[in-house]
Amino acid sequence: MPHVEIQCFPGRTEEQKQLCAEKIADVVAETLGCKTSSVSVAIKEVVEADWKEQVWDRCVVPDAEYLYKKPGYTCD
């Protein structure tokens, strides 16, 4: 039961977020060998001013060893 959580700046339409979630679910199911009905995708919007505290410090830095795709930026 793969679960994917995307955190991004606000500004995408509901249609964009829905399409993104569907495509992510398709890729996850195909790559990991499961049904798309087993995949869940959450999209959470985080304002830029809160990004470092809510995402970088809480998710990116502590989980660095688990990141298969690391960001090309820093929040130093």
User: Active-site residue numbers?
Assistant: 2
In the chain, the largest separation of any two C-alpha atoms, in whole Å, equals 40
Compute the distance between CA of residue 43 and CA of residue 38 in angstroms, rounded to an integer.
17
- d(C-alpha 72, C-alpha 56), whole Å: 12
